[in-house]
């Protein structure tokens, strides 16, 4: 067919306004482009039944709000009402609850599309009332049209269904009412070359693939020519729920590769390197990891403080022990006292240093042992003389003193 890519349709259907669109006015794989406005919060939900189109803009045709949600209608040739998010997301999860239009050749669709023409599609061809199609494109590569799949769905033109995309740097999942119906792995898209991986906007719209002016292939894909006399044909979108896995104020391409690793995000005034998260669970995992790192750092810091305190205590004890030993040269048990002190100090060090500080603990043990040995050797000559030796010396001195007093 002629228009398998939604972008190709937008280019022609919105010829008058295409020049104003970032995706058509500046391709970041060909030139330096302005940064994209990001969704700076993790989640944004829009209930169109409330009548609000906040954070959305109409880029073609006219849309109205009703009790059923936002209404997109094709009444005559050339109608192609479309809305677009005012922001981009960088990997995320999008739920669109909608009821497709009926009528031969009418296409009800919502897509994710980036500035460099990465694209993820949902397309319901009204001619086939029990199915919906999925598709994707990487960097506008339309050399082949064999990437689409068909999914069976119950009465999509009569019943509201939630059509979702869960998009990460590793894989894309398409879901219907919460059930995964297709998965595309990064490696399966020409080893990632055709894998959608750059910041995207959300577009929702309706158009006539069966318009008589379209290429024969497009009309065939749409199931035949559209008869506008049987219209109008309307699609309703009740709500859109968006989760942005990398919330940011802006996203900027830093080179021409179109690779997700080249995207930089700005949060307020801070430029941040993004490592795109793989899912909402990854977000939780990342927070847990950060908490764990902080905890580890805190533990290490505490361990270091404890180790330093232990070293100070050790040095103080050894010093005190040495002074005591020096002043107790008359004590035959000085060596034993110093040895005991060194032993107690070393045991204290071992108990206050956790396994994470094994290296510091080992160093402290060596230091304590050396201090104890030095203190013991400084009084070793005292312990070599028996106590009776000092007793006899004192007795002789006292005897001489008394003898002198008597003579006096």
Mark whether 119 is an active-site residue.
yes
Burial 313-347 (b: 16+ CB within 10 A, else e): ebeebbeebbebbeeeeebeebbebbbebbeebbe
Counting every residue written for the chain, the total comes to 408
Q: Tell me which of 84, 113, 119, 238 is the catalytic residue.
A: 119
Give the residue carrying structure tokens 């020409």.
190
Residues sharing a CB contact under 8 Å with residue 150, sequence separation 6 or more, in sequence order: 128, 131, 132, 133
Using alpha carbons only, how large is the chain's radius of gyration in Å? 40
Element housing 347 (H / E): helix 334-352
Active-site entry in 123, 157, 238, 314:
123
- Distance between CA atoms of 119 and 72, rounded to whole angstroms? 21
How big, in percent rounded to 5, are the helix, strand and coil portions of the chain?
35, 30, 35
Q: Which helix (DSSP H) or strand (DSSP E) does residue 44 occupy? A: strand 43-47
CA–CA distance, 341 with 2 (Å, rounded to integer): 91
H/E stretch holding 356 reads none
Torsion from C-alpha of 256, 259, 264, 265, nearest 10 degrees = 130
Number of Cβ within 10 Å of residue 254's Cβ equals: 14
Catalytic residues: 119, 123
């Amino acid at each position: 067919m002629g228009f398998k890519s939604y972008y190709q349709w937008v280019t022609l259907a919105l010829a008058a306004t295409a020049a104003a669109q970032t995706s058509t006015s500046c391709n970041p794989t060909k030139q330096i482009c302005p940064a994209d406005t990001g969704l700076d919060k993790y989640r944004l939900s829009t209930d169109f039944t409330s009548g609000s189109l906040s954070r959305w803009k109409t880029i073609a045709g006219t849309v109205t709000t009703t009790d059923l949600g936002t209404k997109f209608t094709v009444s005559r040739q050339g109608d192609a009402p479309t809305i677009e998010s005012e922001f981009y997301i960088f990997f995320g999860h999008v739920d669109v609850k909608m009821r497709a239009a009926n009528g031969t050749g009418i296409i009800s669709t919502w897509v994710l599309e980036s500035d460099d023409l990465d694209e993820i599609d949902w397309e319901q061809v009204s001619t086939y009332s029990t199915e919906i199609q999925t598709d994707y494109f990487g960097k506008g590569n339309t050399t082949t049209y064999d990437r689409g799949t068909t999914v069976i769905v119950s009465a999509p033109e009569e019943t509201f269904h939630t059509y979702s995309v869960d998009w990460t740097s590793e894989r894309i999942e398409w879901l219907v009412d919460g059930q995964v119906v297709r998965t595309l792995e990064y490696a399966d898209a020409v080893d990632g070359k055709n894998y959608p991986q750059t910041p995207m906007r959300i577009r929702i719209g309706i158009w006539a693939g069966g318009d008589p002016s379209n290429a024969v292939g497009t009309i065939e894909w749409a199931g035949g020519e559209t008869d506008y006399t049987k219209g109008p044909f309307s699609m309703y979108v009740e709500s859109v729920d968006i989760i942005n896995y990398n919330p940011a104020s802006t996203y900027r391409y830093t080179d021409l590769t179109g690779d997700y690793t080249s995207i930089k995000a700005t949060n307020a005034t801070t430029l941040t390197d993004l490592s795109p998260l793989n899912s909402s669970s990854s977000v939780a995992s990342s927070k847990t990891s950060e908490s764990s790192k902080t905890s580890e750092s805190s533990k290490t810091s505490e361990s270091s403080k404890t180790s330093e305190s232990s070293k100070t205590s050790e040095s103080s004890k050894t010093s005190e022990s040495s002074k005591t030993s020096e002043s107790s040269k008359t004590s035959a048990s000085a060596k034993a006292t110093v040895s005991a002190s060194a032993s107690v100090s070393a045991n204290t060090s071992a108990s206050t240093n956790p396994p994470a500080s094994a290296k510091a603990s080992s160093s402290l043990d060596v230091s304590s042992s050396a201090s104890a040995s030095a203190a013991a050797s400084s009084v070793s000559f005292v312990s070599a003389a028996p106590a009776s030796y000092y007793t006899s010396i004192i007795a002789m001195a006292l005897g001489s003193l008394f003898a002198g007093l008597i003579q006096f």
